[in-house]
Amino acid sequence: MDRSLFWDDLANNLKDPEFLREYVKESVRIATIDAIINTLDEAREAAGLSKAELARAISAQPATVRRLLTAGAVNPTLATVAEVAAALGMRVTLEPLPAEERSELTAPLLEGHSANPLALAEHLDTMRTRHRTEASV
């Protein structure tokens, strides 16, 4: 499929409030989980811990940590993320989005529309791929 056709179709689909909300919500969820999991795995590697050693540190099955750090479709509990973070000398915190990004993401969720659906879709795509691109450099 031609990339411009994809973006045109997506921008058209984003005019539907229900589709827009779901797309924004899922894009932010994926980007957030990817960033957190990648950061935890980088901290684990920097600490010189195997996934099994990290699992022992939080009294979890090795498969739990393996799935958390390597599965493609991860949806970890906050409790597991907090435990792994603590074992790595970290904690999970929330931070406000920068003002411009906050309005760009929050308004579509609350109001069900975007002034520029194509720009929103491109921004969300950048969010989802940002950490993967940084990690591969």
Range scoring the smallest mean pLDDT among 25-39, 43-57, 119-133: 119-133
Please report how many Cα atoms fall inside a 13 Å half-sphere around the Cα of residue 97, on the Cβ side: 12
Q: What's the Rg (C-alpha) of the chain?
A: 18
Average pLDDT score over residue span 110-136: 80
pLDDT at position 127: 86
- What tens digit of pLDDT does each residue of 39-73 get? 999 999 999 999 999 999 999 999 989 989 987 66
Choose among 31, 28, 35, 30: nearest CA to 109.
Answer: 28
pTM, rounded to two decimals: 0.81
What residues make up the domain containing 82?
3-136
For residue 5, give both structure tokens: 């056709």
- Within 13 Å and on the Cβ side, how many CA atoms surround 119? 9
Q: Rounded to whole angstroms, how far apart are CA atoms 25 and 30? A: 9
End-to-end CA distance of the chain: 28
Query: Domain count of the chain?
Result: 1
Cβ proximity of 84 and 68 under 8 Å: yes
